[in-house]
Chains A and B, each alone.
Chain A
Amino acid sequence: MSPIYSSQFRAMGCTFEVQLETEHDGKSILAAVPAKVEALESCLSRFRPESELSRLNQRSGEWVTVSQELLDNLVAAKHAARLTDGAFNPLILSALSACGYDRTFEAISKPWVERSASIANWRDIRFRLPDRQVMLPPGGMVDLGGIAKGWTVQQIAHELSVYGSALVNGGGDISVFGAPTGRSGWQVDVAHPDSDQALCSLSIAGGSVVTSAIDFRRWESAQGKAYHHIIDPRTGQPAQTNVISATVVHPDCTIAEALAKSILVQGSDKGLALLDRYPETAALVIGNNGSVLATSTLMPYLISPVS
């Protein structure tokens, strides 16, 4: 049995946790991870004016040559928008900013004035893949907050899988390759939105687990109106939803992220109905009335009952 190496660090506005079971020099391997995440954040963050994403947003309506990392994220974002019928839309940045989320969550403070903003059509994001070029629709600005963290943890976990079984957790977005020796999978606890207690535990041997919720990133306008960060692309406003928290298990972390957000945006009925199209998906939904719903596909992952 190989030793398990573990590390923690802050990045992308949250805590990253990495675990790797390997016979190689795990300390050296994990010590290099924070720099890789930092390099990706400096490319993909909308909160950094000098990031590649911020520069792309300033040139909407033009063909722009981008890095492979940004291109992969934009392709994944458009794919996720198509899978969710637009319930996930990466072009919500102007609406997010209009709702006051125009800076890091920690820096949001009163006062700011409520306003509205239009959201461009995700179908109008165009690619020239051989040339690594992309063109955003005029006036359209991308927020990769919906999937970039998932893409990052999946990328890191994939690289670590060369050395052994790995789990990467980016603030609750989890990607797993393999399972620890003697176990069926890595244990993933689904947190209850109202407490630090686990609602239930899952065993994941490969793939991703993502939770999207409206219980934490909340703020108020100067007029006292409550806001959260899950924007409904149809209205440009925070989603009016009967769902507090949605956890999705899927082989791909970016798709898991998009599906979790689409459940929040569309509500439990439509959101879970959408998952019928994707049998490789499992979900656990907590409603604002205290209800807990799960797809039948979640049962094989459960290692502890819902408490």
Chain B
Amino acid sequence: MANPNQGRKLMVRTALVTGATVASLIGAQSLALMDKTALAAAEFTPSPEVADASPVLNETPIAAKTSPNITIQRAAPSVIILRHPGQSTPSTGKTSVRPAPKNVVIQPPVPAQISAPDPVIVSQPAPAVTRSSR
């Protein structure tokens, strides 16, 4: 014959274990939700330095409000367009052009390198122009 006290003790222990388990599950779920919120805020907080340093940023950064406390900014990536499709010559808009080295000297060819055009007969004398040498 079972002791009535033993049955009551078993019920109390079962209730305690069940309650603790349920409490643990609820607590863990709450903590997980808090972490998720914190992570989302950390990942999407904009970095002003990165946006300002973009070399081809030519538009105002687009701001999107996702919540009263979180603002997402999108900046254009660092892309330089050297030639647009269908263009035969480089674009002059945002093209980066490297200047020629300063120690390069370009001189006109001396007469020995090119032959002067043949003399021609003219119908009348042409006016000569006097000016600073060029």
Interface residues of A (CB under 8 A from B): 3-11, 13-15, 17-19, 21, 26-27, 30-31, 34-35, 37-38, 41, 103-104, 106-107, 109-111, 149, 167, 169-174, 180, 183, 186-191, 193, 198, 201, 209-217, 245, 247
Contacts of B108 in A (CB 8 A): 10, 13, 104, 106
Query: In the bound complex, what is the Cα–Cα distance between A7 and B119 (angstroms)?
Result: 4
Knowing A149-B133, A171-B134, A213-B132 touch, does A31 contact B127 (C-beta < 8 A)? Answer: no
Contacts of B105 in A (CB 8 A): 103, 107
**Can you name 9 extra interface pairs (CB under 8 A) apart from A14-B133, A188-B127?**
A4-B123, A7-B118, A9-B111, A31-B116, A104-B107, A106-B106, A180-B125, A201-B127, A210-B130
Within 8 A of A (CB), among B120-134: 120-134
Structural contact, A217 and B132, CB atoms closer than 8 A: yes
Structural contact, A188 and B122, CB atoms closer than 8 A: no
Interface residues of B (CB under 8 A from A): 102, 105-112, 114, 116-134
Structural contact, B107 and A107, CB atoms closer than 8 A: yes
Query: In the bound complex, what is the Cα–Cα distance between A30 and B48 (angstroms)?
Result: 73
Structural contact, A247 and B130, CB atoms closer than 8 A: yes
Closest to B105 in A: A107
Structural contact, B107 and A187, CB atoms closer than 8 A: no
Q: Which of A8, A173, A201, A210 contacts B117 (CB 8 A)?
A: A8
Query: What's the minimum C-beta distance from B89 to chain A, rounded to whole angstroms?
Result: 25
Contacts of B129 in A (CB 8 A): 169, 172, 188-191, 198
Query: What's the minimum C-beta distance from A133 to chain B, rounded to whole angstroms?
Result: 29
Structural contact, A190 and B130, CB atoms closer than 8 A: yes
Structural contact, A7 and B130, CB atoms closer than 8 A: no
Structural contact, A172 and B121, CB atoms closer than 8 A: no
Structural contact, A27 and B119, CB atoms closer than 8 A: yes
Knowing A14-B133, A103-B105, A217-B132 touch, does A38 contact B127 (C-beta < 8 A)? Answer: no
Structural contact, B128 and A169, CB atoms closer than 8 A: yes
Query: In the bound complex, what is the Cα–Cα distance between A18 and B116 (angstroms)?
Result: 12
Query: In the bound complex, what is the Cα–Cα distance between A200 and B18 (angstroms)?
Result: 115
Structural contact, A26 and B132, CB atoms closer than 8 A: no
Query: What's the minimum C-beta distance from B29 to chain A, rounded to whole angstroms?
Result: 70
Query: In the bound complex, what is the Cα–Cα distance between A180 and B123 (angstroms)?
Result: 12
Contacts of A107 in B (CB 8 A): 105-107
Structural contact, B125 and A187, CB atoms closer than 8 A: yes
Structural contact, B128 and A11, CB atoms closer than 8 A: no
Q: Which of B106, B110, B118, B134 contacts A31 (CB 8 A)?
A: B118
Structural contact, A10 and B111, CB atoms closer than 8 A: yes
The 3 closest A-B pairs by CB, nearest first: A9-B116, A213-B132, A191-B131
Closest to B100 in A: A109
Structural contact, B134 and A4, CB atoms closer than 8 A: no
Query: What's the minimum C-beta distance from B101 to chain A, rounded to whole angstroms?
Result: 10
Structural contact, B116 and A7, CB atoms closer than 8 A: yes
Contacts of B120 in A (CB 8 A): 5-7
Structural contact, A9 and B130, CB atoms closer than 8 A: no
Q: Which of B119, B125, B132 contacts A212 (CB 8 A)?
A: B132
Query: In the bound complex, what is the Cα–Cα distance between A213 and B134 (angstroms)?
Result: 11
Query: What's the minimum C-beta distance from A221 to chain B, rounded to whole angstroms?
Result: 14
Knowing A7-B118, A9-B116, A34-B111 touch, does A211 contact B126 (C-beta < 8 A)? Answer: no
Structural contact, A9 and B122, CB atoms closer than 8 A: no
Contacts of B110 in A (CB 8 A): 38, 41
Q: Which of B114, B116, B122 contacts A4 (CB 8 A)?
A: B122
Query: What's the minimum C-beta distance from A178 to chain B, rounded to whole angstroms?
Result: 11
